[in-house]
Chain A
């Protein structure tokens, strides 16, 4: 699915606006946008697995939260080595590894059963993290004070891991992630993945063994989700068990479906929508009443925008 020229222009304008935005001097807005972009990367990872390969995961929080814990462990509890490159690499590698492992297990089941396997893994991981048998995850309180040392490039000290620096880092990363995943999806590998979604039997009869491709899809999805998780750690300087909670996986599932599975752009846009809606609703509505807005939003989008926001007829004009 390629984007129409009109839409590419719009996208370019948006990116330009985002580059210029921090000059407005609104730190909370920068925070929200950073968080949105983090979820955007997470959503891209999820859409790769669900929207293109057709594999449903109820436990994607594992690939987001556990790499976050990897970051925390590298920086604070185990290796005490807060080198950002190592931290990010650890997150992406653990995401890739977990993805391949869980993905492999998942290839032995189908449909809802496979989804529930991922759910079980998510629950187990969260419980393990809280139980903390080896004393490396700090249980319920999580790991605090996770800070990456700023990078020094030729005498220039760049703090890319907090505040506005982080904002630009994540902006760069989400653009790169999007382009990489787009490339992947339009490549021969992507064709096989789409084949798995559309008609696995046909694929088998053509001589492809879907298993390694499914594992690859899970692995790649896990890797990008892990990247998002690492960024989340930098944003909050902490790693908490709720990052692995299945509700995080549920939220990204919701975001992807709401945005329009298989469109890549849709889930990213939906991530922004949900994060901002949640933030403003909770600011303006007292107590917990913002939940009504969020719940109502979920219901309304499903009822009135079948296939997600970016698959509605009106927005189809955006695509070539």
Chain B
């Protein structure tokens, strides 16, 4: 059993003919909260999708808890303990809050009733709106819903793709709180973010991706102390 929870080894991913990830490597230890930073279009979402096997790599390996999961069907990856909060939330527009929480497959020995109770405890605003259609919720509430939805699979690794994007500051605070709560539960958190400042509020460690490759890694403290790195890789392009 390896030291790492998740490893991406020299991953090359293509979308059609476009070479999106070009030799991407990263590793996560259990219990960490790690951010993937980068400008839009540099490969953050494809990285998340590759881990989730929604975009299987053409080359390279994905290892979870030491096991090679490259190319495994997505629902199996979810069964092994990885779940995702997709970019743009991706609610099921026609389903109610409660129905959303019934979709995820609950692994034994957990019981759905217990997990529901936990979810409603962390997100009381969802408990109040159990039978409301998801599309009538506010942006922030929808974000809570999709986080709660992902947590129903009791993952070891929670992936979030730009969870704070497009939300009012109050909602962003809520998201940060819930991400910290998830981390405190012992769940490893890996999230993509275009905003450095917000990410550093949660993450202990960061990777920066540029043109499909990791160009920087370090602790949050190190990055905060290196504004020239931030400017070079995350600043507005000339």
Contacts and interface: CB of A to CB of B under 8 A. Distances in A.
Interface residues of A, number: 2
B16 interface: yes
Contacts of B17: 198
A175 B9 CA distance: 53
Nearest to A202: B18
Contacts of A152: none
A94 to B, nearest CB: 37
Contacts of A199: 16
Nearest to B17: A198
Nearest to B15: A199
Nearest to A198: B16
Contacts of A198: 16-17
A224 B225 CA distance: 67
A198 B18 CA distance: 11
A193 B16 CA distance: 17
Nearest to A199: B16
Interface in A198-240: 198-199
A50 to B, nearest CB: 18
Interface in A271-308: none
A112 B220 CA distance: 48
B18 to A, nearest CB: 9
A199 B15 CA distance: 11
A198 B17 CA distance: 9
B16 to A, nearest CB: 7
Contacts of B16: 198-199
B140 to A, nearest CB: 29
B195 to A, nearest CB: 24
B45 to A, nearest CB: 15
Interface string A174-207: 0000000000000000000000001100000000
B80 to A, nearest CB: 30
A206 to B, nearest CB: 15
Interface in B1-52: 16-17
A201 to B, nearest CB: 12
Interface in B74-130: none
A146 to B, nearest CB: 47
A199 B17 CA distance: 11
A199 to B, nearest CB: 7
A204 to B, nearest CB: 16
A203 to B, nearest CB: 14
A218 to B, nearest CB: 24
A198 B16 CA distance: 9
A51 to B, nearest CB: 16
A200 to B, nearest CB: 12
A185 B138 CA distance: 48
A198 B15 CA distance: 11
A62 B68 CA distance: 53
A110 B232 CA distance: 40
Interface string A255-266: 000000000000
A31 B16 CA distance: 43
B148 to A, nearest CB: 32
Interface of A: 198-199
Interface of B: 16-17
Chain A to chain B: the 3 pairs with minimum beta-carbon distance, closest first: A198-B16, A199-B16, A198-B17
3 contacts: A198-B16, A198-B17, A199-B16
